[in-house]
Amino acid sequence: MKLQVLVLAGDGIGGEVTREAVRVLRHVAGKWNHTLTLTEGLLGAVAIHKTGTPLPDETARLAEAADATLMGAVGLPEFDNAPPDKRPERGLLGLRQKLGVYANLRPVRAYPSLLGSSPLKNDRVEGTDMIIVRELTGGIYYGTPRGISGSGAEERAVNTMTYSRPEIERVTRMAFHLAGGRRKKVTSIDKSNVLENSQLWRRVVIETAREFPAIELEHMLVDNCAMQLVLNPRRFDVVLTENMFGDILSDEGAVLAGSIGMLPSASIGDRKPSGAWVGLYEPVHGSAPDIAGQNKANPLGAVGSVAAMLEYSFGLKDEAAAVNSAIERVLQSGKVTADLQPRGKPATTDEVGEAICAAIG
């Protein structure tokens, strides 16, 4: 198969973890005889430094042309007080919108060998295996009117949480499709006791769910969900939620896995004429300026993102399973970076990447 992948390493540890993800992607392509074409582009602070904008037109063009995009992370402290359109994170939001990737998929698994790294008691976390499906291009992060007006006692700020029926339907279908290949249960999260927006969300989810009679649907208020994620995370299979609730809940979910460095994500849009899903794949973590350039970042979130790319954008399930099982075996071997608190000397970022390739064979 021909795999055309755009690589946007970004800032901070983005370059380090992406290098290992690409190493694994090359290894998989070689082993299964796929023709891999890699293109590199600029996004985030590195793009601002070189071109003056966080999302250069050339990067947007390359992303639209590629079958899939692999991203590292964006953001540097020097831009913390920059105007919104000159911030690295604006590049990422712009890219998501440009590609129309409306569903963010975040698998959260408790790996047996990492139970000790979770801040929760082992018996609570053990067996956790869920995927959070977050709507990514609508809701309060994009709604208008928005802004701050007035001054003194008259100063006020407004944001708008808005969803249309089609926006809810398409992400709901994505969640139900995923549940069909898993334990066949969707938990839809809302705040329908207070927000009209959530009332529409719940109604449209119920109507769309009728297309999937084999899948169980339950509803949960977002405040209860925040509690259940730490009380009984095993109860969840597919968690479906709007943009802001998903942003918050998925970081809470991240803690269950032991380290944020472990978590992959996939942002998916519609299918291309080839049948592949449009996809943007990136680890959940940020650019971690505190450890950047030290070869000690955990690359497994980035490597897991490669597995997600192989599965969702290319339909290569065996290759994806091989990468995921290599992650499990490397974790069991104890060859892990410092964030996972190994007993012996921590492994470096590139040692973990090499170990994954060796485990794939």
**Consecutive H or E run containing 280:** strand 277-283
Looking at residue 272, the DSSP 8-state letter turns out to be: P
Among 24, 73, 217, 347, contact with ligand NAD (rule: CB under 6 A): 73
8 A C-beta contact, residue 65 and residue 352: no
Stretch that binds ligand NAD, among 137-145, 160-168, 202-210, 278-286 (CB under 6 A): 278-286
Q: For strand 68-73 and strand 2-10, is the pairing parallel, antiparallel, or unpaired?
A: parallel
Please give the biggest Cα pair distance in the chain: 66
Active site residue 350: no
74 lies in the binding site for ligand NAD (CB under 6 A): yes
User: How does strand 129-135 pair with strand 103-109?
Assistant: antiparallel
Among 339, 346, 347, 359, binds ligand NAD (CB under 6 A): 339
Residues 138-177 that bind ligand NAD (CB under 6 A): none
Q: Which stretch binds ligand NAD (CB under 6 A): 71-79, 125-133, 176-184, 191-199?
A: 71-79
Nearer to ligand NAD, 139 or 283 (CB): 283
User: Could you tell me which stretch among 96-104, 293-301, 313-321, 324-332 binds ligand NAD (CB under 6 A)?
Assistant: 293-301
The 199-228 contact track toward ligand NAD, x by CB under 6 A, reads: ------------------------------
Q: How far apart are CA 11 and CA 235, in angstroms?
A: 36
Burial class (CB in 10 A: 0-12, 13-18, 19+), 143: middle
Work out whether 297 is an interface residue with ligand NAD (CB under 6 A): yes
Among candidate residues 99, 5, 102, 36, the one with its CA nearest the CA of residue 305? 5
Question: Catalytic one among 141, 142, 184, 185?
Answer: 141
Catalytic residue chosen out of the listed positions 191, 237, 296, 339: 191
Question: According to the binding rule CB under 6 A, does residue 287 interact with ligand NAD?
Answer: yes
Cβ 284 vs Cβ 264: under 8 Å: yes
Query: Annotated catalytic, 80?
Result: no
123 is catalytic: no
| Of the candidate residues 101, 209, 225, 291, the single one contacting ligand NAD (CB under 6 A) | 291
Nearer to ligand NAD, 149 or 294 (CB): 294
Sequential DSSP letters for 202-244: HHHHHHHHTT-TTSEEEEEEHHHHHHHHHH-GGG-SEEEE-HH
The answer to the question of residue 350 lying near ligand NAD (CB under 6 A) is no
Among 138, 261, 264, 279, binds ligand NAD (CB under 6 A): 261
The residue among 187, 169, 170, 341 whose CA lies nearest residue 249 is 187
Q: Is 251 a catalytic residue?
A: yes
Please pick, from the candidates 3, 288, 309, 359, the single residue that binds ligand NAD as defined by CB under 6 A: 288
- What are the Cα distances from residue 251, in Å, to 44, 91, 264? 21, 21, 12
Compute the distance between CA of residue 248 and CA of residue 167 in angstroms, rounded to an integer.
20
Q: Which residues bind ligand NAD (CB under 6 A)?
A: 13, 17, 73-75, 89, 92, 260-261, 282, 285-291, 297-298, 301, 337, 339
**Active-site residue list:** 141, 191, 223, 247, 251
